[in-house]
Amino acid sequence: QDHVCSLSKVPFRGAPCSDAAGRQVPYGIIMKQVNSSLSGVLWDEVQKSPFYEYKDSLGNFHQVWFDDPHSISLKAAYVKNRGLRGIGMWNGNSLDYSREATAERQTEAMWQALTP
């Protein structure tokens, strides 16, 4: 069913449905895959995060949730506006640090988004 994707219930540190059921995908791969996805980039207003949908070669439906410069800038602004002491990133090494021009722009935009 479109826009409905659930994680398997895999117990992990006391949470019944966690990232232990999924896997991390590098940002560069996400940026390439989103262009050939079923949906293109979608936006969840509640989570303030982008995602996209695709079907694999077996016809299974998937959703990929990720952060982009816009979603990160909203989180960074939240921290700043509330006078909090900082913000953490999940995994900065999943950005594409190659010398390809598109990758350099995407990576720079992600780091810049941390400073609202």
- Domain total in the chain: 1
Question: Is residue 101 in some structural domain?
Answer: yes
Regions of the chain short of the pLDDT cut 70 = 1-22, 89-90, 116
Domain containing 28 equals 19-114
Bridge partner residues of 61 (DSSP): 55
pLDDT at 101: 94
pLDDT at 87: 81
Question: Is residue 6 in some structural domain?
Answer: no
Question: Is residue 48 in some structural domain?
Answer: yes
Q: What residues contact 94, with CB distance under 8 A and at least 6 apart? A: 24, 25, 26, 27
Question: Is residue 100 in some structural domain?
Answer: yes
Burial class (CB in 10 A: 0-12, 13-18, 19+), 90: exposed
pLDDT at 1: 55
Bridge partner residues of 53 (DSSP): 63
The reported pTM is 0.75
